[in-house]
Structure 1
Amino acid sequence: MFNIGFGELILILLIAFLVVGPQDLPKVARALARALKYFHGIIGEITQSVNLDSELTEISNVKSKIQQTVKNVNPLNDIDNEINDVKEKLKSTEKTLKKSSNF
């Protein structure tokens, strides 16, 4: 996680021992561990929130595509067109029959 080798860790512990002192070192270590745990939790929540936002955006895009597809493939439009064609043919046939009956 931090890319710290064993030698570097020993050096950090030695400096902490000299700065803090042997009596307060366990307290400082516990406080540091709590802080790291807290920050790790916050980072997890932020990551989860970002992932959720990206998923919601993706779902919204898919919803838009589906709505557009449904709009383009509406079967009622095809049926309406067919009905209109049949009406026109019937009108044409009716006119032809009226002309034939007038003679």
Structure 2
Amino acid sequence: MFDVSFSELMLVGVIALIVIGPERLPKVARTIGHLVGRAQRYVTDVKTDIQREMDLDELNNLKGQMEDAAKSVKSSMQDATDSLKAPLDEAQKALKDASASVENLVDSTKAEVKDTQDSTRKEFVHQELAEPAADTDTLPLPGFDDINKTKTGTPT
């Protein structure tokens, strides 16, 4: 604070001893010491308050920077999500379209099979009505002649 050497302090002390006197000098020195101590504490408190304000400003600046960084990260994550979501949505739409076309194909195939079965049944019923079944009483049974020959013992 002040650049005071020991010799300068001795000079001030000798002058104070002459002016104040030896009886009142210790009391005055004590009072001056208390005042200097109070001034030092006041200066220290002011320095501490100023330092707190500076730290608070730095923290507010750091907080603002962190909020900006968080917003930047959030926006980049949103952009990344959107860029990944777009192809997935397209793939999902294509899958739905393919599923719908497969379902249509299955339905049309089922309808064709049903139409084919219906037409086959109609043709079969039509043939049955057009050609009556042959009389089974007049038809020889397979192997019947062989059995008769064996019983009678006459070879054919």
Classify the TM-score, shorter chain.
0.7 to 0.9
TM norm structure 2? 0.53
Task: Tell me if 1:19 matches 2:16.
Answer: no
Task: Tell me if 1:32 matches 2:32.
Answer: yes
Deviation at 1:10, TM superposition (A): 1.7
TM norm structure 1? 0.76
- Deviations along 1:32-62, one digit per CA (max 9) or x if unpaired, are 0000111111111111111111111111111
Deviation at 1:87, TM superposition (A): 2.9
Question: Could you tell me the percent identity over the aligned residues?
Answer: 27
d(CA) in 2 for partners of 1:53 and 1:81? 44
d(CA) in 2 for partners of 1:32 and 1:66? 50
d(CA) in 2 for partners of 1:21 and 1:34? 20
Which 5+ residue runs of structure 2 have no aligned equivalent? 105-156
1:65 match: 65
Aligned residues: 99
Greater C-alpha Rg: 2
Matches within 5 A, 1:1-103: 1-74=1-74, 76-77=77-78, 78-88=80-90, 90=92, 93=94
Q: Which has the higher contact order (CA 8 A, sep 6+)?
A: 1
Specify the code of the residue in structure 2 equivalent to 1:83: K
Task: Give the root-mean-square deviation of aligned CA atoms.
Answer: 2.6
- Deviations along 1:47-86, one digit per CA (max 9) or x if unpaired, are 1111111111111111111111111111651223432443
2:137 match: none
d(CA) in 1 for partners of 2:54 and 2:87? 47
More helix by share: 1
Which 5+ residue runs of structure 1 have no aligned equivalent? none
2:144 match: none
